[in-house]
Structure formats: C-alpha cells, structure tokens
Amino acid sequence: MLSLQSITIRYNQRTILHDVSLDVKAGEVVALIGPNGVGKSTLIRAISGGVPIAGGRVRANERDLLRLPIEQRARLVAVVPQAVHLPEAFTVAETVLMGRTAYLGWLGRETAADLAIAQAAMERTCVTELAARRIGELSGGEQQRVLIARALAQSAKILLLDEPTAHLDLKHQAGILSLVRELAKNEGFAILIALHDLNLAAMYADRVALLSNGALVALGAPPDVLTAEQLSPVYGLRISVYEHPANGGPWVMADSK
C-alpha cells in the first residue's frame, strides 16, 4: 500500500537519509526505530511532503505520492503529529472536522457527510465525550486521540504516526498503541509509526525498521531485528535482550555498565 523506494534526503548538503526502501502493507504496523536524530521524523515529514526528497520515490496505492496535488495526497496518506503546540482556539469537534479539509469546496462548507465522518472518527478513538471541550485544555493522551481522530477523518488508508507516545504515561501509551494496532488489524490501515521505545515497538509492531546513521540497517519481525548484536552498535552502548516473561517477545534492556 505504501512503498518507499530508495528515499534519499539531504539538508544543507548533509545527507540525512540515504537509500531507504520500505513497504508497508494493508493491515500491517511497521515501527521506525533508531537513536534520537537519526531521521525518523524527517522520513515521516518527507513522505507527507513537508521535507523535499533528493532522490527516490514514494508510492501510495500505486500512485507517485509526491507528484500529486496536496489535496489528493491528504486523501491517501494521513499524518498524526506529536500533540505539542496545539492552538487553543478550537474545540475537539472543530479540530476533527479539519480532517475533512482535503474534501471541501472553495467556500469550505462542511456537508452532513463530512459531519458524519468526523463523528465516526471521534467515536472510533473515544473522544466524543470531549467534543465541545477546547483541545488546549485536554491531557496529552486525550490530545493524541483527537489528532488520531482527525487523521481518521481524512479517510486515508495509510497512517503515519510520529512518536505518538512520546510524552504519555504507561496507560495512555498502551491505549494509543492498542488503538493503532486495532486500526491495522480490523480495518486494514497500513501504518508506519516512529517510536523511540524499543519495547513498545516489540509489543505492537508487526515489523520494525532500524535506522542508523541515515541508513536502514535492519528490517523484519521484532525478534529478528531487536537483538543485542544489532542494537548495541546502533545505540552505542551494551544492550541485552531477554525473553519477555509475559508474551515471549524480545525485551530490551540497556546494561548500566
């Protein structure tokens, strides 16, 4: 569904990402992992057209995404940003309705169909109760759910999430990632998610893509990628991987010495 073909990104003559190729199929959650500053967020911004790419191609539903007009791109790929610096002027319902931007005419009038889609999106992420509240006054976890609802309102089947659990406590981390997983499994979304927490990636992703020094160094099921041999050099410290006592998957720990 989403196919990145040898993406190269340069910024001020510096190569940020080099020759990254990656497919995300419908019904699949792929986690982007790697140290801070390795280019996870940059890759997500590049796929959505926020950063120019120096080489390669992004295909979404067999179409060359970055050559499409902005409105059509937004109908194929929706992005869930981190819930920071949100304007306080808007209510949850108004924010979610902004997901319909790509479908409105030049007068910007929302139709009954747009309202119904926004309504369904709010129900899907359990924020309907908050509809009349202002987004600025919500907790981080609630804001993140609102942003997911807004992305769902775009009716795009490819979702990109940029560290959605970054500032959340354990309960909200689990809530958001379970929702993400359900969207892939039950509704066939293709999901690419940048995560810095390796254990969350191990638990919720079907495949993980490990980025290091601007290149994709490993791609595969969590047990194959999340190994001490592969992670230690990338993160520059000794890492041990154990078997998770509850689910049998990989359990990553940094060694203190």
Partner 1 sequence: MKARQRDGGKEGQRDERSLSRRRAHPLSVSLSPYLWCFGALMAALLLSAAIGAVSIPPLDVARLLLSRVLPISVDAPETFITILFDIRLPRVALTALTGAALAGSGAAYQGLFRNPLADPYLLGVASGAGLGAVVAMAIQWPSSALSFFAVPMAAFVGAVLTALLVYALARVGRTTPISTLILAGVAVGAFMTSVSTFLMLRAQGELRRAINWMLGGFALGGWSPVVAVLPEIILGLGVLLVVSRPLNVLQFGDDQARQLGLNVDRVKRVVIIAASLTTAAAVAFSGIIGFVGLAVPHLIRLMWGGDYRRLIPLSIIGGAAGLLLVDLIARTVLAPQELPVGVVTALIGAPFFVWLLRRAKQQAFW
Instruction: Tell me the HSE value of 249 on the side-chain side, using a 13 A CA sphere.
Output: 16
Find the binder of partner 1 among 15, 19, 23, 90 (CB under 8 A): 90
- Taking the complex as a whole, the smallest distance from the CB of residue 92 to partner 1 amounts, in Å, to 9
155 binds partner 1, rule: CB under 8 A: no
The dihedral over CA atoms of 222, 226, 227, 231, expressed in degrees to the nearest 10, equals 160
CB of 162 to partner 1, least distance (A): 10
User: CB of 152: closest distance to partner 1 in angstroms?
Assistant: 12
Q: Does 73 bind partner 1 (CB under 8 A)?
A: yes
**Phi, psi dihedral angles at 50 (to 5 degrees):** -80, -20
Q: Is 170 in the site for partner 1 (CB under 8 A)?
A: no
Joined together, the tokens standing for residue 193 give 């998610």
CA distance 195 to 33: 6
Instruction: Based on the shown chain and the rule CB under 8 A, indicate whether residue 91 belongs to the binding site for partner 1.
Output: yes
Beta-carbon contacts of 52 under 8 Å, excluding residues fewer than 6 positions away, are 9, 46
Name the residue nearer to partner 1 (CB basis): 74 or 205.
74
Q: Phi then psi for 60, rounded to 5 degrees?
A: -130, 125
Residue 132 sits in the site that holds partner 1 (CB under 8 A): yes
Taking the least distance from each CB to partner 1, the nearer of 42 and 212 is 42
**By the rule CB under 8 A, 10 interacts with partner 1:** no
Q: Which is nearer to partner 1, 37 or 69 (CB)?
A: 69
Provide φ and ψ at 180, rounded to 5°: -60, -45
Q: How far is the CB of 131 from partner 1 (least distance, A)?
A: 5
Contacts of 100 (CB under 8 A, 6+ apart): 110, 114, 117, 118, 153, 154
Which residues within the stretch 92-131 sit at the binding site for partner 1 (CB under 8 A)? 93-94, 98-99, 101-104, 106-108, 115, 118-119, 122-123, 128-129, 131
Stretch in the footprint of partner 1 (CB under 8 A) among 23-31, 54-62, 87-95, 242-250: 87-95
CB 108 within 8 A of CB 92: no
Contact (Cβ atoms closer than 8 angstroms) between residue 128 and residue 119: yes
Binding interface with partner 1 (CB under 8 A): 45, 48-50, 69-71, 73-75, 77-79, 81, 85-91, 93-94, 98-99, 101-104, 106-108, 115, 118-119, 122-123, 128-129, 131-132, 136, 150, 154
